[in-house]
Structure 1
Amino acid sequence: MANSGEPSSSLSFTSSSHLSNGSANHNMCSSHGSDPGPNLEVISLSKLSSCLEQLLVDSDVDFSDAEILVEGTAVGVHRCILASRSKFFHELFKRDKGSSSEKEGKLKYCMSDLLPYGKVGYEAFQIFLGYLYTGKLKPSPMEVSTCVDNSCVHDACRPAINFAVELLYASSIFQIPELVSLFQRRLLNFVGKALVEDVIPILTVAFHCQLSQLVAQCVDRVARSDLDNISIEKELPLELAGKVKPIRRNCLQDVENENNASVVDDPVHQKRITRIHKALDSDDVELVKLLLTESDVTLDEANALHYAVAYCDPKVVSEVLSLGLADVNLRNSRGYTVLHIAAMRKEPSIIVSLLTKGACASDLTFDGQSAVSICRRLTRPKDYHAKTEQGKETNKDRICIDVLEREMRRNPMAGDPSMSSHTMADDLHMKLLYLENRVAFARLFFPSEAKLAMDIAHAQTTSEFAGLTASKGSNGNLREVDLNETPLVQNKRLLSRMEALMKTVEMGRRYFPHCSEVLDKFMEDDLPDLFYLEKGTHEEQRIKRARFMELKDDVQKAFNKDKAEFTRTGIASSSSSSTLRESVHNKVRKL
């Protein structure tokens, strides 16, 4: 795969005939002993290429007459250039010429509307456009064609493959045959090096682009691999899965003949496993429980947890875990634990759910990969280092890696995660008030991470406890009071809320130990004074404001301690610290 250290491709506008003529002239002049000087045609083409490139890179003057929206960014293009270089764009612009859209201004297109399937990202389209304009193929940007695994040479990691797949797809759909040939050769080189699961996107794009050589090589690689049949059926088009299975059966038959033995496959047993998987596909965990009672198949025999983590909604995964019938550290036939599969999916809530149920982050695959190394190998620098806008969720790729790294470094013998503050009274209402306040401050300081912890704990599904704070309001807020609620029902509701909040705090203690210590001290020493910043005399409010700013500094220092335990920054992203500063600033400004 090309990267920033590679030279530009030799593909250019210059034809072979032009080059041969130039060479011939050069040889003729050399034979007479005279200096022929620079080849005028080569100089002209090079200058033309540079001038056309300025149309793409010069942002001061925009002469584009159409726009293509790619991943939310409008890319200005010049129809005359694209139409002359690509039959696809020639037909597209010819069809829209004279339309009402053209009369209103620039023609506007959305990349997803131009593609019958798959996607082409912004960076890949820029590389493709650069070739159309200049005849030269630029190196692939490192931030989208490499992964964040420092030990990876990036010769066949998933981002490198995905970027080449996008370029091949764009070249095929937009009908640039010389680029199709180039990227097909590049992907052919990947097939033998890549992990078999990373061959799937290559095979898929080769199938849609009707590249028979690439399809044949990928099919053979997948058929002879240890990839399970379920993955083949779920992740490949039906026609491709049909090509893989006969080859796989023949390979299995050859192995049986060599070993003079036969593999007995129980069709009844397999049918029961399939029913469990279909029940999971339908999000029907109750049906799964029924199927388990009606047969001798267990969740582990069906690899049901692996299946749910790979293909089902996170809520279904949580419900399967709550059954307590599956081994969370079970390995499948390929040696992958459930956490390894979760790392491939990169869904933070699933990863955290597995870790809280005892999944071991240090377990390695047969080829020596941990869950965090799997996750890193799948993540682009662009995604890992992306800044999160205020009020939006933290980048999932980063959270997954940071959570797994934290777990790898976490001391398994650390203190009891249960609540132990001596300020907590035995009274249920006082415990709830303490927890509500503690979680509220955690949400102020770490909004995205606190939301993730609350989602894992299902805290959002329980009603917030106003309790003693309600009576302190000027209007005596009674929104939590239900006169028809019996004491038994009320206690059940409050206990459910307390359990969810305690689990939320446990998540914070587990992944933000230093920050949790600061919050603990704040809750014990300062909460009664700082909870009502607007109360008291002007001098008292000034002192409270100063102490609140000190708290902000303490939390920031604790934040840095937590991050220092990582080789890179820790679970809390830079956006969280920005949110912290803004929140505190806004709070103090209102005083």
Structure 2
Amino acid sequence: MAAAATNPAEPSTSSSCLSNGTSTPAENLSPTNLEIVSLSKLSSHLERLLLDAADPGFTDADVSVHGGAHVGVHRCILAARSRVFRDLFSASAAGAPSGSRPRYAAAELLPPGARLGKEAFMVFLGYVYTGKLRPAPPEAATCVDPVCAHDACRPAIAFAVEMMYAAHAFDVPELVSLFQRRLLNFVDKTLVEDVIPIVVVAFHAKLHQLLDHCIQRIARSDLDNVSLEKELPCEVVVEIKSTRRKFPGASCDAPAVDPIREKGIRRIHGALDSDDVELVKLLLTESDVTLDHAAALHYAAAYCDSKIVAEVLELGLADINLKNERGYTPLHVAAMRREPAVIVSLLDKGASVSETTADGQDAVSICRRLTRAKDYYAKIIQGQESSKDRICIDILEREMNRSPMACEDSVTSVVLADNLQAKLLYLENRVGFARLLFPAEAKVAMEIAHAEPYSEFANRNAARSSANLREVDLNETPSVQNKRLRTRVDALTRTVELGRRYFPHCSQVLDRLMSDDAPDLFHLQKGTPDEQKIKRMRFCELKEDVRKAFSKDKAAPGHPSFCSSSSSSSSQKGDAKQHRAATRK
């Protein structure tokens, strides 16, 4: 009998490739290794089935997710892997018309207000089908802030939260455990505002360890009670307030609260919630509480319809650039909300786009940090509504370019200076690595951005570099110092943006490098001989990664002509020789 034909594109069923690259017949494998090979092949075949799910002929049901997308699924696989799916399919099969294709809504299985996008659902399905967890798609889990490391920004957190909702709702306990650890890692690294979605998912999924950690973080922060009450479950708010009272000296340090004034503020907020600006005007005449006392413009920018924001602005009774207790203007709050109509209303009435928060963030950078790359870089189709996030950034950037005060530094606090120092150190390190790994291209980008190279980068470790950046002329005022730092930060930021635009693959390599132990690689002569050997090997691997990335960038359509001088190994060697010769001189 003739032997059965095999598909050359598939792994052979009679042999297996071991770690040394040799092929071993299946009969020579131990039972354990044979089981591993079989499971690996089964996983890869099921993954192919998932990738082919776009063809309705291979699937027998659809699941609708956030955004209106429909994902084809195989009910038999999902029912075998999840009790929730099994019960769902069993209940719906009884009353379904014969021959009809069932459709299920993921939102019906999630807590109120929770969302599950297509990208997260596809990663979740990948695990259910194959037992392997794929990494998050960069376009769905990274923001568009050019200096963000993407390790704790809002898109990264939002993706992990969606995965947690899926794991909990569809009863996959091992994924719940995994993403609880990831979310725990986010809590101490991110801004306190970004902890709120983590609190909500921890509450709904009954993740007590994660919830307790979030409560401790928020209780120690300056997040106001209004935000807590508007955005968190009441049980969590009670626990946060109780925890705050337990802190040493909390009762002594807390400012005295005037109950009459507090009542007046709440009544104004209630009138805004009711969309009743006439009632707001009446309340202002009946008490000494003003719109500024109640931070009414901040409240409206965060929670009210854009029409109400415009009506409050028409009253002309609020300071449009007033900073609340956390150092945010109404425009900062609107940037967090990302509602274009609210932003335009504020700008039209004179909101300053150059105002910064205590940590040096302006409205544009706030909006960029919250916006997914997918939403910002999505192709705009004629007749289709554009992403609100992208519109907000475009509006704020145009206003920033138009405003003559955009480059003025109006904040002189020590906190701002410290954050500028940290951002400047990050940018210096990143651009320094760019100069080392592809010097010709980095030089052109820095010339266009008017960023002078920091000559001491390669000769000092991170700690000494930080100390150098913090050196201050005693005759230099804080405002002059901040302006000097901001000018340098702007120039280096522009350099990074040019790199991301013209060298996206190389920029991805630098992103990974900067999120690891980047500064240590510069000091190849430090450490034990074994440590030096490991560093040199990693450095060679890094250069190879950059060479490959540069080749991809150069081959990309629309690559600019000024980048024709590549950063291949030969050009790097030439630049290195010139550098050594100059050093000897």
Structures share fold, TM-score greater than 0.5: yes
Please give the secondary structure, in 1, of the residue aligned with 2:79: helix
Which whole-Å CA distance do the structure 1 matches of 2:196 and 2:39 have between them?
40
* Deviation for aligned residue 1:291: 1.0
* Deviation for aligned residue 1:60: 5.7
Post-superposition, which runs of at least 4 consecutive aligned residues in structure 1 deviate over 4 A?
34-38, 566-569
- Does 2:307 match 1:291? no
| Residue 158 to residue 413, structure 1, CA distance change in 2 (3 Å) | closer
Which whole-Å CA distance do the structure 2 matches of 1:60 and 1:352 have between them?
44
- Does 2:45 match 1:51? yes
Please give the secondary structure, in 2, of the residue aligned with 1:119: coil
What runs of 5+ residues in structure 2 fail to find an aligned partner?
1-17, 19-27, 407-496, 502-585
Which whole-Å CA distance do the structure 2 matches of 1:172 and 1:337 have between them?
37
Partner of 2:354: 362
| Residue 241 to residue 35, structure 1, CA distance change in 2 (3 Å) | closer
- Select which of 221, 224, 239 maps to 1:225: 221
Which whole-Å CA distance do the structure 2 matches of 1:292 and 1:381 have between them?
43
On the 8 A contact 2:354/2:405 being kept in 1, the answer is: no
Aligned AA (1:109): Y
Which whole-Å CA distance do the structure 1 matches of 2:201 and 2:207 have between them?
9
Partner of 1:96: 92
* Deviation for aligned residue 1:92: 1.1
- Does 2:161 match 1:169? no
- Select which of 171, 178, 188 maps to 2:174: 178
On the 8 A contact 1:159/1:378 being kept in 2, the answer is: yes
| Residue 61 to residue 393, structure 1, CA distance change in 2 (3 Å) | closer
Aligned AA (2:383): G
- Select which of 145, 151, 155 maps to 1:149: 145
Please give the secondary structure, in 2, of the residue aligned with 1:104: coil
On the 8 A contact 2:107/2:115 being kept in 1, the answer is: yes
- Select which of 338, 341, 353 maps to 2:330: 338
On the 8 A contact 2:110/2:165 being kept in 1, the answer is: no
* Deviation for aligned residue 1:345: 0.6
Aligned AA (1:74): H
- Does 2:46 match 1:39? no
Q: Deviations over 1:123-178 (max 9, x none)?
A: 00000000010000001000110101110001110000000000011000100000
* Deviation for aligned residue 1:98: 4.0
Which whole-Å CA distance do the structure 1 matches of 2:90 and 2:405 have between them?
70
- Select which of 231, 254, 260 maps to 2:249: 254
Which whole-Å CA distance do the structure 2 matches of 1:263 and 1:129 have between them?
51
Which whole-Å CA distance do the structure 1 matches of 2:29 and 2:51 have between them?
36
With 381-390 and 138-147 compared, the bigger mean Cα shift is at: 381-390
* Deviation for aligned residue 1:215: 0.7
Which whole-Å CA distance do the structure 1 matches of 2:386 and 2:76 have between them?
42
Please give the secondary structure, in 2, of the residue aligned with 1:62: helix
On the 8 A contact 1:55/1:62 being kept in 2, the answer is: no
Within 5 A, what are the aligned runs for 1:401-416? 401-412=393-404
Which whole-Å CA distance do the structure 2 matches of 1:127 and 1:392 have between them?
27
On the 8 A contact 2:64/2:103 being kept in 1, the answer is: yes
Partner of 1:347: 339
* Deviation for aligned residue 1:256: 4.6
| Residue 262 to residue 334, structure 1, CA distance change in 2 (3 Å) | closer
Identity %, equivalent residues: 62
Which whole-Å CA distance do the structure 2 matches of 1:130 and 1:281 have between them?
43
Within 5 A, what are the aligned runs for 1:180-259? 180-251=176-247, 254-257=249-252
Which whole-Å CA distance do the structure 2 matches of 1:309 and 1:263 have between them?
26
Partner of 2:69: 73
* Deviation for aligned residue 1:36: 6.5
* Deviation for aligned residue 1:99: 3.1
Which whole-Å CA distance do the structure 2 matches of 1:275 and 1:106 have between them?
52
- Does 2:379 match 1:387? yes
Aligned AA (1:265): V
Aligned AA (1:167): M
| Residue 108 to residue 393, structure 1, CA distance change in 2 (3 Å) | closer
Aligned AA (1:220): Q
Q: Deviations over 1:54-100 (max 9, x none)?
A: 11112568321111122322211111111110010111112223433
- Does 2:107 match 1:112? yes
Which whole-Å CA distance do the structure 2 matches of 1:183 and 1:163 have between them?
10
* Deviation for aligned residue 1:413: 9.0
Query: How many aligned residue pairs are there?
Result: 382
Which whole-Å CA distance do the structure 2 matches of 1:277 and 1:307 have between them?
7
Q: TM-score, normalised by structure 1?
A: 0.62
Aligned AA (2:36): V
What runs of 5+ residues in structure 1 fail to find an aligned partner?
1-21, 23-33, 415-565, 570-591
**Greater CA radius of gyration, 1 or 2?**
1
* Deviation for aligned residue 1:411: 4.4
